[in-house]
Amino acid sequence: MEISLMVLVPLVAILGFIYHYITKGNKYFHDKPIPSLAAEPLFGSTRRLMMKKTSFHDFVISIYNKYPLVKVFGMIDTMLPMFVVRDPELLKRIAVKDFEYFMNHRPVFGNNDDPHNEALFGKTLIAITDQKWRDMRATLSPAFTGSKMRQMFELIVECSSNMAQHYKEQIRSNGAGSREHEMKDVFTRYANDVIATCAFGIKVDSLKHAENDFFVNGKKMMAFNRPIVMLRMMGFRLLPKLMNFFNLDLFDREQRVFFTEIIKDTVRTRDANGIVRPDMVHLLMQARKGALKHQRDTEEREEVKGFATVEESEVGQTQASKGMQMTELEMIAQCLIFFLAGFDTVSTCLTFLAYELTVNRDVQDKLYEEILQTDKALGGGPLTYDAIQGMQYMDMVVSEGLRMWAPAPATDRLCVRDYVVDDGDRLKFTIDKGTVVFIPIAGLHHDPQYYPNPSKFDPERFSVENRDKINPNTYLPFGIGPRNCIGSRFALMEVKAIIYYMLREFSFERTPNTQVPLRLAKGFAGMRSEKGVFVEFRPRKQAAN
């Protein structure tokens, strides 16, 4: 009896401590003058998402609609209190005007920026914090201006043209008039080739060489639904200090080594042979030497930009303090995050855009007419940066695709010091240091108050006549404020170029496997469809060209 009590008492104490640890934040909002979602141990308010009962996109919309009359409400994510901001003006104050209070992202995957630690994710622009982030953003920002994108555009055109030609040859050689393809696979291969040539300086053909090392390693890195990766993600959420202590990274060592060696070899070869190529490796090599400066020349000011393009803040336009010098690992980490963003986010955008063009034939036909006009103006020659920027309907279509299917349904900001919310009316409370502001992008994008009939794919929302009616704080496909996506120009020109070349050669047609309406895969593993997006590429009659 004594032995069992000796075992039982410590066991109960340990279980009690664990229960207290995982539930200590669940009552956080009880003394705040805002409503909050119900919370339970370990899951917080996210059980349906964590147990794969809903998709992340649908989860964000559902919680956004839970309290339609409030500006902000509370939610517990695992153990962390989060303020879900619904009001566009409050969102602007937090993410832009009072950015100093909310400078960092929540450290979901660790932010260990120790220069001797080989974990890469913690050294990326997304993960680093405070002054280190300011310096890195200012160092990298000149690499993403319109003039730099213009220099890189030929590489994107080459990949786009090659892809359209590949499918033309495939249909010709098979003796068939049409072929069904799964869009996520198609556009992941395209995005892989673009980012390989633009960010890593190497040519890869993922259509002809389906299992090339670059593509295979990229897919492994993006397989966030693997049990081992899910465990790491939970580890970073529940025990971040312990994960950093053991130098654990979100990515497998095999993939880290693969991409690290590619960058090291490329840099060594270019340094030794004086090779200059208009790609991200070259720009990062310049940035490492402090040779990239932010210049607002006339061309930059007069550039025609896509509606979704985000502007660089003053943070990005200042010079890095003390002439920041990137370490080799930091440079590799930036290449890696550009790869991951291009590999998954761009392919996701294109997948859902292809779906909408397929099921909305009137939109596809109107866009095709603009493509024909542009092609005629170019004399059948290669697409140019100025030509793609001047395609108004293309921009409307892409902008609406990003509204309906934002690849990032939400983003966040970590509160770095106590912040008082006071709307001058009856709402006044403190967002405490260490808590998180949750920005429900998909919720805002599907709010009928801002976008009437939000489930309808309607590019006319973004026409020259209508776009001024859109509150810019309710349209956030690339985020908001100084921590917005640095690569919006790159992503948009990549998306537009491949749509141009594919629609010029093919019409997108439904097949028996095209799921209408589209349903999203459940769980937190990114934006993807439940059963894939299947589309037929039907060759257009030559006479139409």
Tokens of 161: 């043209």
Q: Which amino acid is at 424?
A: G
Report all structural domains of the chain as residue ranges with CATH numbers, in order of start: 5-539 (1.10.630.10)
The number of residues making up the chain comes to 545
pLDDT of res. 19: 53
d(C-alpha 481, C-alpha 351), whole Å: 27
The two tokens of residue 535 are 């589309």
Q: Which long-range contacts (CB under 8 A, 24 or more apart) does 336-340 make?
A: 336/120, 336/121, 336/124, 336/259, 337/121, 337/124, 337/125, 337/126, 338/195, 338/199, 338/280, 338/487, 339/195, 339/199, 339/200, 339/218, 339/259, 340/218, 340/221, 340/222
Residue that has been written with the tokens 């509204």 in this structure: 403
- C-alpha 145/C-alpha 223 separation (Å) is 31
Contacts of residue 481, defined as CB under 8 A and 6 or more positions apart, other chains included, come to 95, 96, 99, 313
The tokens 């990515």 sit on which residue? 251
pLDDT of residue 75: 95
Residue 319 token pair: 């010079």
Structure tokens given for 470: 């859109």
DSSP readout, 80-113?
A: EEEEEE--HHHHHIIIIITGGGS-B---TT----
Spans of the chain, pLDDT less than 50:
1, 543-545
Q: Are 73 and 67 in contact (CB under 8 A)?
A: yes
Looking up tokens 């509160």 gives 415
Helix, strand, coil % over all residues of the chain, rounded to 5? 55, 10, 40
Write the pLDDT tens digit of every residue in 159-186.
Answer: 999 999 999 988 888 765 558 999 999 9
What would the pLDDT profile of 450-484 be if each residue is shown by its tens digit?
999 999 999 999 999 999 999 999 999 999 999 99
Block residue for tokens 């705040």:
32
Q: Is 485 annotated for ligand binding?
A: yes
H or E element: which one contains 46?
A: none
Does the N-terminal peptide bond of residue 278 adopt cis geometry, omega within 30 degrees of 0? no
Q: How far is it, in rounded angstroms, from Cα 495 to Cα 403?
A: 15
User: What is the C-alpha separation between 79 and 238, in angstroms, rounded?
Assistant: 8
Q: How does pLDDT run across 239-285, given as a tens digit for each residue?
A: 666 666 656 666 667 777 888 888 888 888 888 877 777 778 888 88
Q: Which residues lie closer than 8 Å to 185 by C-beta, 6 or more apart?
A: none
Q: What is the mean pLDDT of the chain?
A: 85
pLDDT at 201: 78
Reading the block at residue 266, the tokens are: 């490329």
d(CA 527, CA 407): 6
Contact 202, 275 (CB under 8 A): no
Strands (E), 140-295: 179-182
Please list, in sequence order, all residues whose beta carbon lies within 8 angstroms of the beta carbon of residue 283, skipping any fewer than 6 positions away.
142, 143, 148, 292
- Is the Cα dihedral 209, 195, 353, 304 positive or negative? negative
CA separation for the pair 152, 198 (Å, rounded): 7
Distance (Å, whole) CA 28 – CA 420: 16
| Half-sphere exposure (Cβ direction) of 202: Cα atoms closer than 13 Å | 21
Specify the amino acid at residue 489. Answer: R
Whole-number percent of the chain with pLDDT over 70: 82
User: In 3-state terms, what secondary structure has residue 179?
Assistant: strand
pLDDT of residue 151: 85
pTM, two decimal places = 0.89
Q: Are 469 and 433 in contact (CB under 8 A)?
A: no
In degrees, rounded to 5, the angle at the alpha carbon of residue 346 between the alpha carbons of residues 128 and 505 is: 160
